[in-house]
Amino acid sequence: MFASTFRWLQRKRYQYEVTFSLYMLTPTEKFIFNSFLFLFFSMIIIAMTLYLPQHIAFLTNRAWFYYNGDESAKAAVQSVVESTSTVLVEQVKETIVAASGSAIVDAAKEL
């Protein structure tokens, strides 16, 4: 199995050198060419991992907007705002009650 894998790798290396005519270059020139190729593909892969998810999210949001229209987007945003605003109102009420209760206790201690 090791020998067949090694032969397959040698064949792929040979195909790579013949395809890009690297067999005509000196070892230094091959190193420079391969370095540039490696750097180029490394930058492509890094850019894809950094920016492709954001781009896909943007495209799906745009497709969602085109498919459902503006009214459904407004309704979705409004439902989220309403649900969060009711939660916030309840939290503010609890904070006010707690603060007023402690203020009454402090005022009673001063008397």
- Average pLDDT of the residues in 51-56: 88
32 pLDDT more than 80: yes
Contact assessment for residue 25 and residue 34, using Cβ atoms and an 8 Å cutoff: no
**pLDDT score for 77:** 63
R_g over Cα of the chain: 33
Token pair listed for 72: 């459904």
- DSSP-assigned letters across all residues of 56-89: HHHHHHHHHHHHHHHHHHHHHHHHHHHHHHHHHH
CB atoms within 10 A of CB 11: 10
Buried b (16+ CB within 10 A) or exposed e, 28-41: eeeeeeeeeeeeee
- Average pLDDT of the residues in 23-27: 93
Name the residue ranges covered by the structural domains of the chain. 2-110
73 pLDDT more than 70: no
**Which position has the token pair 């892969």?**
45
Considering only residues 61 and 47, tell me which one the structure prediction assigns the higher pLDDT: 47
- Average pLDDT of the residues in 66-73: 70
Q: What is the largest CA-CA distance in the chain?
A: 100
Considering only residues 6 and 110, tell me which one the structure prediction assigns the higher pLDDT: 6
Q: How far is CA 55 from the centre of its chain?
A: 9
**pLDDT score for 105:** 52
**pLDDT score for 14:** 94
pLDDT band with cut points at 50, 70 and 90 for residue 30: very high
**What is the value of pTM for the model shown?**
0.49
